[in-house]
Structure 1
Amino acid sequence: MVRAVPTLVGALVCALSLLLSPIFASPVLAHGKSLSYSAWHFDEDGAQVSVRIPLLELSRLGIPLPLPGEGSSSPDGREVGEYLTQHLELITPDGPCTRTASPTSRPTETGWVRFRWSLRCPPGNQRTLQSRILLDEAPSHLHFARLTLESESESARPRIVERVLTAGEPSWKLNLAPPGAEPESPSASLSGTSFLSYGRLGVEHILSGWDHLAFVLALILLARNLGEVARLITGFTVAHSLTLALAVLGWVQAEAAPIEALIGFSVALIALENGWSLGGRGRGIPRVAVLALLVMAGLAAAGFGSLAVLTLVGLAVFMASHFELLRRSPDTGLHRVALAFAFGLVHGFGFAGILAEMQLPSDRLASALLGFNLGVEVGQLAVVALIWPVLALLRRTANGAPHRLFAEFASGAVFATGLYWFLIRTLGSG
């Protein structure tokens, strides 16, 4: 009877979480970072600007958005273009640089829009790049500006620098020397985002990535001691650091939509395993889960969703094998570490998106990658440092009954949330 009570609590929490997950686990909230990108090519008269931003981010504005295939000639496209040119400016001491023509849309990947326009500036080297894109709607919005400065010598490579613009630092002061000349203060005026800034970006990224945090919580929820926590977090960290580096360096590429779906799957599976372990390790839960994946594979065969049929069938086989292996084998914890490593590889691709989209020059990659990755680890360790003492205290209280009750409660909520992410990212538009 004692075992049935928390199991029932977990089931009720799971059902309630499924009802509330469309509110609290929306695709926007899963990755809290709101992002946009711009590329600037400067010449003697001004600059050419190209801006990329997800349609999902533009939906925050409440304005009509262009349909796929529509360009800047449509009313909705013109409204988006006007918004971007009004909120991304190049300013001189004599006033803003002026647009030479209306912004035009350019082809880009599905779910994004790209607009391009040219600016003419008064003579002079002093300019300020300022972004106010989405800051009223999403104060945490990050705008990545990438500058290309041409050299007068044909043999010299263009200089490329980048800067992350935020609500706290929305402006970038530039001292642009004419081609062939040196700027008066190059270190101050044309310095890119620093190592520490990338570290801070990594911390913010992990702390606002609710799917990654949910995975870490579910991963350590049933850990019996600090050594087991260390092994689990190390396995997850080594794996996601590996794929983060491979993806940012361009050595391995993965499509964003399937990766996001698999991240949701990883959250749901880890939480499901928790509930299965607490509920007696029977055959019923794995069988239902495998059947659900096979149904989704059937839907994929009919043309629904972002995951391929073979991928969903493979997930079903993996899940069946994983639970059967756990059921037959002694609980050494090694299976859990292996699972943390495997899913860490997937999460690494999710971490990589924010840096890969910046298209950093080769001489900036190592610094940005190391700083960002260290920031992710610092943020992750901070979360574990907050959660683990609470779990350890609950485990030592009243023969572990409060810990079991909390584990049931948390696993049910995390499973429902992860399941929602997996379904909406696989079958929905998010």
Structure 2
Amino acid sequence: MTARLAGWWRVLLWALGLSAILAGAAHAHTRSESHSVWEINGANVDLVMTIGEVELRRLAPAAGPPPSDAQVTGYLAARVYPSAAGRRCALVPPVETLSATAGYRKYDFTFRCPSATEISITSRAFFDVAPTHTNFAQIQNAASGEFTEQLITRDRQTVEVTGGEDSKLLTASFLDFIRMGVMHIFTGVDHMSFLLGLVLISRRLRDLVFVVTGFTIGHSLTLALAVTGIIRPHAEYIDALVALTIALIGAENVAVQTRRPAAVAAGVALLLAGMAGLKILGLGGLPSLLLLGAGLFTSNYLMVSGRLQDAGRLRMVITLVFGLIHGFGFAAGLLEMQIPPVRLGELLVGFNIGVEIGQLTLVLAASLAVVALTRLKLAPPRAIVVDVASAFLAGLGVFWFVSRSYA
């Protein structure tokens, strides 16, 4: 009875940890946002900017009144503008204040560009007061009839509209989307490291099928949610969490090989709890709730998986959770491009197929290499390979996780 109660208690802690991770991730979602509609008509550009009053209060002094329309338009005119052939387009006064729903303000800007070629749009507004601000831009090119939607963030404040690299997505074929997915795997060292960890931890083909299936379900779901705009995660937090999944795959291998899951789980918990403590003191980027939830979740998982004789099906669930994180990582590159809404479904299907081709190729190549070396009697004992590779992955993952958390 005592063992059964202990098992239920560990499942409860595991669920609480997962809840805290999700709550921390929700806290990490972008909260500061604005909306812009750009109409490109030759050398003339019209911009309608919609901003919530809560965003405008960021521009006012502490406890001061909200900024006036003249102050807001002056702030925006200096930071939001189109360019053509590398030259900033001239603002044509006056700036009109349009009627808007309660709690919002809307402004209409008109620009005249020196030419109608190589047009780009720039928005530097609000990043000085809210670094995680996101501008949701809708871009209509009257000459070509193209309509695109774009995210403008602190890391990418300028978007090419005509003649730039971003325009390639408009004419890309379905095979191009597949190729993008394949290259995303082969050029992503962190994703390849995670897949290598899955190969190391799978003793049988059935185990490998379980973990790859869970990973696929997870990343396909969040890739679609992120690209369609249903969920907007903080990219910097996702990069750190991807690194944490690599460290945990390596740590689980170490726990299984050494048969000391408690020691490994305690080490992971102490690391994450220590980082959460530093965050409370004002040091670090990841929310303390997210770090504490990750520590609770992962330490209990390591304790459970390290004591099971056959953890294959359990790992399918865990890799599904890890796949949710990696899916946001896959989406980061796509969100930097102009994605035509009419081709969104085609892009998601093609990119996902490409990702699956890339990861299956990598997993099969690694597995076949192991089989070939074993038959040629050139492979060292599996225990040594797993120990060395797992320690390397755990160390690499921790390094990436800490460095990305404090970047």
Superposition TM-score, scaled by structure 1 size: 0.59
Q: Within 5 Å, give how 1:31-430 maps onto structure 2.
A: 42-45=40-43, 89=85, 100=89, 119-121=113-115, 148-150=140-142, 159-160=146-147, 192-358=171-337, 360-394=339-373, 401-426=380-405, 428-429=406-407
Instruction: Provide closer, same or farther for how the CA distance between residues 386 and 172 of structure 1 changes in structure 2, counting only shifts above 3 A.
Output: farther
Q: Distance in 2 between matches of 1:396 and 1:290?
A: 40
Q: Distance in 2 between matches of 1:383 and 1:173?
A: 35
Q: Distance in 1 between matches of 2:242 and 2:205?
A: 25
Q: Which runs of 5+ in 1 are unaligned?
A: 1-38, 50-83, 91-97, 103-116, 131-145, 153-157, 164-169, 175-188
Q: The residue matched to 1:221 in structure 2 has which SS?
A: helix
Q: Deviations over 1:175-208 (max 9, x none)?
A: xxxxxxxxxxxxxx99532222222111111211
Q: The residue matched to 1:283 in structure 2 has which SS?
A: helix
Is contact 1:47–1:120 with CA below 8 Å preserved after alignment? no
Is contact 2:140–2:148 with CA below 8 Å preserved after alignment? yes
- For residue 120 of structure 1, what is the amino acid of its counterpart? P
Is contact 1:395–1:403 with CA below 8 Å preserved after alignment? no
Is contact 2:255–2:302 with CA below 8 Å preserved after alignment? no
Q: Distance in 2 between matches of 1:359 and 1:253?
A: 16
Is contact 2:214–2:323 with CA below 8 Å preserved after alignment? yes
Q: Single out whichever of 394-403 and 267-276 deviates more from structure 2.
A: 394-403
- For residue 307 of structure 2, what is the amino acid of its counterpart? R
Q: Distance in 1 between matches of 2:169 and 2:312?
A: 51
Instruction: Provide closer, same or farther for how the CA distance between residues 339 and 397 of structure 1 changes in structure 2, counting only shifts above 3 A.
Output: farther
Instruction: Provide closer, same or farther for how the CA distance between residues 216 and 191 of structure 1 changes in structure 2, counting only shifts above 3 A.
Output: closer
Which residue matches 1:65?
none
Q: Distance in 2 between matches of 1:191 and 1:257?
A: 28
The CA deviation at 1:148 is 2.8
Q: Distance in 1 between matches of 2:302 and 2:343?
A: 44
State, as a whole percentage, how many aligned pairs show the same letter: 34
Two-structure CA RMSD over aligned residues (Å): 4.0
Instruction: Provide closer, same or farther for how the CA distance between residues 331 and 400 of structure 1 changes in structure 2, counting only shifts above 3 A.
Output: farther
- For residue 115 of structure 2, what is the amino acid of its counterpart? C
Which residue matches 1:61?
none
Which residue matches 2:101?
none
Q: Distance in 2 between matches of 1:266 and 1:315?
A: 10
The CA deviation at 1:282 is 4.4
Instruction: Provide closer, same or farther for how the CA distance between residues 48 and 417 of structure 1 changes in structure 2, counting only shifts above 3 A.
Output: farther
Q: Deviations over 1:146-169 (max 9, x none)?
A: 9631279xxxxx532699xxxxxx
The CA deviation at 1:99 is 5.4
Instruction: Provide closer, same or farther for how the CA distance between residues 44 and 250 of structure 1 changes in structure 2, counting only shifts above 3 A.
Output: closer
Is contact 1:391–1:403 with CA below 8 Å preserved after alignment? no
Is contact 2:169–2:338 with CA below 8 Å preserved after alignment? no
Is contact 1:256–1:350 with CA below 8 Å preserved after alignment? yes
Q: The residue matched to 2:310 in structure 1 has which SS?
A: coil
The CA deviation at 1:252 is 2.0
Instruction: Provide closer, same or farther for how the CA distance between residues 286 and 100 of structure 1 changes in structure 2, counting only shifts above 3 A.
Output: closer
Q: The residue matched to 2:171 in structure 1 has which SS?
A: coil
- For residue 43 of structure 1, what is the amino acid of its counterpart? N
Q: Deviations over 1:202-252 (max 9, x none)?
A: 111121111111111011113223232222111101110011011111122
Q: Distance in 2 between matches of 1:374 and 1:129?
A: 33
Q: The residue matched to 1:299 in structure 2 has which SS?
A: helix
The CA deviation at 1:368 is 1.4
- For residue 388 of structure 1, what is the amino acid of its counterpart? S
Instruction: Provide closer, same or farther for how the CA distance between residues 289 and 280 of structure 1 changes in structure 2, counting only shifts above 3 A.
Output: same
- For residue 44 of structure 1, what is the amino acid of its counterpart? G
Is contact 1:297–1:313 with CA below 8 Å preserved after alignment? yes
Q: Distance in 2 between matches of 1:276 and 1:396?
A: 28
Work out the number of aligned pairs and report it: 297
